[in-house]
Each structure stands twice: as C-alpha cells, then as structure tokens.
Amino acid sequence: ANTSLNRDQKLLAICQLLSDSISYYNWVGFYFANHETKTLHLGPYVGAETDHTIIPFGKGICGQVAVSNNNFVVPDVSAQDNYIACSFTVKSEIVVPLFVNGENIGQIDIDSHVIDPFTEEDERFLEFVNQEIAKLY
C-alpha cells in the first residue's frame, strides 16, 4: 500500500507540529493564492475553525501579504485597521509568504493569544519552514 503522505497531509502535519511545539502559536494555517481571481484560499490548518476561507488580495493581514510579498508581523491586532478578526482570543499575528520558484503562491499564517510574541527569530524560522515546503512543489 502507498502509505506516504500527500502534500496537504504534510502541510497539516507541519501545522500540528508547530502548534504543539511553540506555546504562542495558537492557530497555524496556510492560505494559497489564486492569481486569476486575486483571492487567497484556506488550506490545511490547526486551531479554531474560521469563517475566512476566501480572502481577497489586499484585505486583512493575509491579503496585504499576497500583494506586498513581505513578512507581516502584527504585535497587537487591535492597532491594525486593515485586519480580519477571526476570534476575540487572537491578540497578535505573523504572516510569511511562501515562494516557489520566486512566485508568491501563498503564505503561512500564525495567530497568537498573547501580545507581541513574535521576534525576528520567528521570521527566520518560518522563512526556513516555507523554503522546505517549497521543495514539495
């Protein structure tokens, strides 16, 4: 039998590992870009269910990263005007784009229940995680 994991199963396992290992990673998921419709689509995730399965480019933290191609660290979500609230328990967020052959195909999105937990170490770590994920494509 073929017991190997498909890509979405691997991404889900990565979400699970990250949320289990790092106390302040309270929601971990992936969004993937559709460049024709200019929308992001929710992929594998671990954490509270979210209504935001489709996000237009430019909208919220995730939508802004789809356009900017840059990491976005939000120490305190209450200070953001272009922000999509998923849960009142979420206090901060980090989004790091996922590049495959130089193209921004999506992003890893992490929500935290504490204020200002994300450092440059998280950014470098999540960039590394995404570089490893890019090898699955």
Whether the Cβ atoms of residue 60 and residue 40 lie closer than 8 Å to each other: no
Element spanning 60, H or E: helix 60-68
The single-letter code of the amino acid at 46 is V
Task: Give 114's contacts (C-beta < 8 A, 6+ positions apart).
Answer: 24, 91, 92
Binding mask 95-134 for ligand SME (x = CB under 6 A): --------------x-x-----------------------
**Nearest position to ligand SME, beta carbon:** 60
Using CB under 6 A, which residues numbered 5 to 24 contact ligand SME?
A: none
Closest distance to ligand SME from the beta carbon of 35 (Å): 18
Can you tell me the distance from the alpha carbon of 90 to that of 112, in angstroms, rounded to the nearest whole number? 6
Q: Which is nearer to ligand SME, 93 or 122 (CB)?
A: 93
Q: Which stretch binds ligand SME (CB under 6 A): 7-15, 60-68, 115-123, 128-136?
A: 60-68
Q: Which is nearer to ligand SME, 60 or 106 (CB)?
A: 60
Task: Give 45's contacts (C-beta < 8 A, 6+ positions apart).
Answer: 12, 15, 27, 28, 29, 30
Residues lying near ligand SME in the complex (CB under 6 A) are found at: 27, 50, 52, 55, 60-63, 83-84, 86, 93, 109, 111
